[in-house]
Amino acid sequence: MSALLALVPTELLQWFDDAPIRYWSIAWIAGTFLVVTVALKLVEESTATPANSRRWPRWLLHPATFGLVTVAAICAFRWPMVFAGPLLNPDETQHGAAALTYWRDPVPWRSVDLHTSGPLNAYFLWPALLINGRVDYAGLRVAALFTHLVAALATYGVFRRFASDGTARLAALPFIAFVALTANWEFVQYSSEQLSIGLLGVAAWLLAVACTPGNTPEKSRRWRLIAAGACLGCLPFAKMQGILPGVAVGCIGLAGAGWIPAASRRMRAARVLSLMGGAAAPAALMAATLTVYGLWAQFHAAYIESNASYLSGYEAARMALLGNFIESFVTYSDGFAPFFWGMVIVALAAAFSSGIARLQPRALLAAAWVLLAVGVWTVIYPGRPFGHYLHFLFLPLAWLGGFSLIAIFRGNPPAGATPWAGCRQAGVALAFFAVTIVPQIVTRAGEAHPAIGSLVAARRNSLHPVSARLRELARPGDTLMVWGWFPRLHTESGLPQGTRESNNYREIEAIPMRTFFRERTLRDLRKNQPAFLVDAVCEGSFNYTDRRVAGLQVFPELQDYVAAHYRLEEELGGYRIYLRNDRASAAR
């Protein structure tokens, strides 16, 4: 059992399993308190006078309190998915396997190849390793949850730069609600997109702080621009798919940095250079690492050329997804659809209620629409209808809906300006809540939670029999190669990868670069000599279940190497565990 799981007694999980209403009661109470903190702040702002300025304690309406309540509410809804055990996307445990392996050899592309994902997604999991040396499901889900929390709080921080605190809270609430209420396995599992949206969210917040008028010292502005640039510069090494959204946010930041009022031409140039310098720093560091370790050829072949190959040949599928975006993606998740439509409806309402020519802030709204278009293209460009790609729409939708609300509020008379102004503002706030929050609540309340009721069973299922056997046989320093597509054996057993691949899609499928990857796998195998090799092509595995079409025999050189250097230790449920000959002899 992991250290994180050990903190939660089985009896407590059983207590929630026995009566799901206990979970729902706590979660809805936390959610209600979050809504109350938004409503109280809006009321305070609309009725602020010297007589009632201290109607409520200051700490209750402080931004830090709202941030803490947001974290508490999201965690109150999301925590069962942390303990839900194995779910459907093997990419999660592939990143866990990479984190284990990078812990022993952190040089990118020397010990690990994460295919379309960059090394930063694995490095991000290292804090979980510090607990007990393994990255288990709970640690992976906490990492996923953390990126969502960061993105939600950063969104609130962005809105605070352009609106009152109460308006900012209300504008951020739909995204906060979506992050809290979602239980879709594509969103709650750790995936290669989640670190990217965390980086994009933080970058946008830093740019908003640095590029808006105020009393911020010039030196602080530049440091924030450098940090924002660094976040954007990290995107190519987290997920290449995030490059286009990163460039779009960066260009908006450049425009903001160059045109802050009262800045001299030299000061503007310094700000632009700060942002660009920060963005270039991660690439420079990666280039130096690749040069020192002589890995440019691996980087180019495994990351650049392989990603280009992954995208080629899907032009027709790409256009089909563009034409059927709603059916392919928006309706993919019941929880995502109300969030998507709520934000779009608010944006359209802003245009029709105030008139596009009078909308303020026009530039930010135009930027939000551009970022939404970029997000849609980013989602469909790979040509695969994978639900986890929708992460690249989370922030653009949140920004579009939030800035549209701010525009509607600015288009209305301030509360107190006329006898009806306060009622009008309250009506707008209630309509916004009804359109963006209520549908999410209704959708979530109408579904049974996928984890509550089976939390104890999930704990039992978090250790595959093969992983349990590998733990029994393993010695310190051992590594493992898994043939097929079953990286959970690495994360559950705690055994790092014996080759750069934790799944063998590129060695099995007839892709253009298959020869390159097969030769590299053999070199890794001869060099590292992993103690264990598991043939995971069997019923119950992921993707590859028929040994006749994907077994070791499809890679004759590998089959010959295994026959010469390994012996079959045992077979469990179709999974064949091989031990290196010297280890097998000692074991027997």
For residue 359, what pLDDT is reported?
53
Say yes or no to pLDDT of 49 above 60: no
Average pLDDT over residues 220-243: 96
Share of the chain above pLDDT 90, in %: 74
Grade residue 211 by pLDDT with cuts at 50, 70 and 90: confident
Q: Which residues contact 158 (CB under 8 A, 6 or more apart)?
A: 204, 205, 208, 399, 402
- CA gap 464, 362 in Å, rounded: 55
SS (H, E, C) 534-562: EECCCCCCCCCCCHHHHCHHHCHHHHHHH
The structure tokens 């990217």 sit at: 196
pLDDT by residue (tens digit) across 476-497? 999 999 999 999 999 999 999 9
For residue 409, what pLDDT is reported?
84
For residue 151, what pLDDT is reported?
98
Put simply, whether the predicted model's pTM sits higher than 0.85 gets the answer yes
For residue 59, what pLDDT is reported?
84
Grade residue 171 by pLDDT with cuts at 50, 70 and 90: very high
For residue 78, what pLDDT is reported?
96
Other C-beta atoms lying within 10 Å of the C-beta of residue 427: 12
For residue 376, what pLDDT is reported?
96
Average pLDDT over residues 224-237: 97
H/E element, 569: strand 566-572
Average pLDDT over residues 21-49: 91
Q: Which CATH class is domain 463-587?
A: alpha beta
Residue 403, both tokens: 């800035």
The structure tokens 């509020």 sit at: 409
pLDDT by residue (tens digit) across 100-120? 999 999 999 999 999 999 999
pLDDT by residue (tens digit) across 368-407? 999 999 999 999 999 999 999 999 999 999 999 999 999 8
Grade residue 424 by pLDDT with cuts at 50, 70 and 90: confident
pLDDT by residue (tens digit) across 270-294? 889 999 999 999 999 999 999 999 9
For residue 408, what pLDDT is reported?
87
Grade residue 269 by pLDDT with cuts at 50, 70 and 90: confident
Are the beta carbons of 475 and 494 closer than 8 angstroms? Answer: no
**CA-wise closest residue to 340 among 443, 244, 200, 411:** 443
Q: Which residues contact 205 (CB under 8 A, 6 or more apart)?
A: 154, 155, 157, 158
Cite the beta strand spans of 123-184 per DSSP E: none
For residue 411, what pLDDT is reported?
67
| Side-chain-facing half-sphere of 149: CA atoms under 13 Å | 20
The structure tokens 């809504």 sit at: 35
Question: Which one has a higher pLDDT value, 200 or 425?
Answer: 200
Say yes or no to pLDDT of 50 above 60: no
Average pLDDT over residues 539-558: 93
Grade residue 449 by pLDDT with cuts at 50, 70 and 90: very high
For residue 190, what pLDDT is reported?
96
Residue 556, both tokens: 């004759």
Grade residue 544 by pLDDT with cuts at 50, 70 and 90: very high
Share of the chain above pLDDT 70, in %: 93
Angle made by CA atoms 231, 232, 237, in degrees to the nearest 5: 90
- Furthest-apart CA pair in the chain: how many Å? 89
- CA gap 171, 156 in Å, rounded: 8
Average predicted confidence (pLDDT) for the chain: 90
| Side-chain-facing half-sphere of 271: CA atoms under 13 Å | 28
Say yes or no to pLDDT of 73 above 70: yes
Residue 61, both tokens: 């309406």
| Side-chain-facing half-sphere of 215: CA atoms under 13 Å | 0
Grade residue 335 by pLDDT with cuts at 50, 70 and 90: confident
Find the Cα–Cα–Cα–Cα dihedral 70, 76, 77, 78, rounded to 10°. Answer: 90
- CA gap 98, 328 in Å, rounded: 30
- Ranges of each domain in the chain: 3-445, 463-587
